[in-house]
Structure formats: C-alpha cells, structure tokens
Amino acid sequence: MHPADERIAAIRAFNRYYTKRVGALDQSLYDSPFTLTQVRVLYEIAQRERPVASDLVAALGLDAGYLSRLIAGFERQGLVARTPSSDDARRRELALTRKGAATFGALVASADRDAAALLGALAEDDQRRLVDAIATVRKGFGDAPGEPVTLREPRPGDLGWVVERHGALYASEYGYSAAFEALVARIAADWLDGHDPACERGFIAERGGARLGCVFVVKKSPHVAKLRMLLIEPAARGLGLGRRLVDECVAFARAAGYRRMVLWTHSQLDAARHIYERAGFVRVASAPNSDFGHELVDETWEMDL
C-alpha cells in the first residue's frame, strides 16, 4: 500500500473508532434527548455573545435551512430565545433561556463525566501523552486551541519529558546524536538531586494540559545564574513563547539577587539565538565542538542583570 493510502486509512480507522467510543453514533448524546449536532448548536449559542444564525452557519458549516429548523425546535422547547438586535432590527440574536442554560449545564456535566471516565482508564503519564497528541493534531489541521498558555513549576514526570523531547527534537531537526540527550539527562538529574528553590527555578509552559515548552535557571556561582534547557515544541512556535520563557528567567534571576546571567548554545540554533539577543544577551565566546555527531560551534552568551 502506498504511504499516502496508509495514512488515509489510519485517519478513517481512528474516526470510526472514536465516534463509536464517545457515543457519537447514538441517536442521543450524554443520556439526553439531543443529537450530537443539537448539542453542538447549544454549545455555540452558550459560548458566543448573542450570536445570529449566520454566525453558527459559518462556525459549524451547517446548511442554513437545517440550522433554522434546529433553532425553531429549541424555541418550542423553551431552550432558546430569538430577539431583535439593538443594532439592526432585521437581525435576530440567539440566547439560551434560563431553562436552556440549565439544560446545557447538565449536558456539560455529563460530558465532563464521560471525559473523566476515558482519562481515568489511563495512567497519569499516558493521560499527558494523550493530551499532547490532541494538541498536535489540532495544530496540524490549523486549529490552535484557544486556551491561554500558562507557566508553572515542574511537577513529577516533567523532567523525564524534558529529556525525551530534547533528545527527539534535536535528533530530528538537527541530527544530534544520543550524546546530546545524555547531556540533558545529566542536567535534569542534577536538578532533581537538589536544586535550591530560593535561587533556582524551572518553568513548564502548558496549554490545556499539554506541555509546550520549558526552561530552567540554575546557580552557576553566588552571583551568576545560568539559563538551561530552553525548548519549544514545534506546535507552539510562533507564539512568542520562547521570548516569554527567557524573560521569566531573567526576571527571576534579578529577583534572586544574581548580578549576571549566562547561557550555552550552538551557532546554528538561529531561532534560540535571536531570542537571546532580543532579551539582552551578548555572545562573549565561541569554540568548535564535535560531541554530538556534527562539527558544531559552541557559543557562550551573557548579560548583566
């Protein structure tokens, strides 16, 4: 079978599995009298600020006549009200009634229980990998999740992810050997063995439960901090996340009383070097390096705090 045919077959097989798994093929959804399409229309009305029917047609790709019939049915049940727009009396705005809001709330609670049951069958690490994979799929199809990116301190399991992603990404994107992953593993192990929270800090970037990036501040000397293990997942690039992570490190180092901050990178890592330069770092030294399977140029950058 041609590789393209295999990929098509894989997507179709997953669609068949998942629609059955979540009950999308049932005549009703979440033990309610509503179909999947009806629940989605209620969701859009609930999430939008007084939308009109054309907004839902554009968002859901539904036939306008079919949508009109669905909304009329909701009106008869007392779930949705249509009122003239204050800006244009010809436009009829949609909103859930009190009964509609209560009904939708029950649907959300049922959906949350179903999702919790799906996740509950998986170990914690498997749950995280699943959420990461979902984010990758959405990004691949051009649908970046709308949740904000948050920064948090590392939790159990995060350092293993940091090592694995450094090894995988640097091998696939730059051809680095396993020696680079081993180096990151040693840095991570040193962190786990006893970092000082007063003067050392790690940041994990996360959105919707999916890890998107990381960076760490470690103590090099009483007056010098070192920035280490900056990584941005491909699906999160272009969001300004690298700059945000570096800025957080600089702010923490200043607050912790350091006088200078240093970092180590390679000359071909253009995106990272651009972030460092914009943050105020200056390259102060360079040297050849062949430790990771290629002839590289090590660079040391620093900035006064």
Give yes or no for residue 26 having a pLDDT over 80.
Answer: no
**Contact residues for 182 (Cβ-Cβ < 8 A; gap 6+):** none
Per-residue pLDDT band at 75 (split at 50, 70, 90): very high
Question: Would you kindly state where each structural domain of the chain is located, as residue ranges?
Answer: 3-121, 150-304
Give yes or no for residue 46 having a pLDDT over 80.
Answer: yes
Q: Do 3-121 and 150-304 have matching folds?
A: no
The whole-number pLDDT of residue 40 equals 87
Instruction: List helix spans (H) across 48-177.
Output: 53-60, 64-76, 98-120, 124-140, 158-174
Whether this model's pTM surpasses 0.85: no
Mean pLDDT of 149-171: 92
Pick the CATH number of 3-121 from 3.40.30.10, 3.40.1030.10, 1.10.10.10, 1.10.3130.10: 1.10.10.10
Q: Which two tokens stand for residue 196?
A: 């000082």
Q: Which tens digit of pLDDT belongs to each residue from 239-254?
A: 788 999 999 999 999 9
Looking at domain 150-304, its CATH superfamily turns out to be: Gcn5-related N-acetyltransferase (GNAT) (3.40.630.30)
Mean pLDDT of 32-60: 83
Q: Which tens digit of pLDDT belongs to each residue from 269-298?
A: 888 888 999 899 999 999 988 888 888 898
Query: Alpha-carbon distance 144 to 139, whole Å?
Result: 5
Furthest C-alpha separation in the chain = 75
Q: E strands, the chain, where?
A: 80-84, 92-96, 150-152, 201-207, 210-221, 224-232, 260-266, 282-289, 296-304
Residue 40: HSE in the Cβ half-sphere, 13 Å Cα cutoff: 11
Query: What is the percentage of the chain residues whose pLDDT exceeds 90?
Result: 36
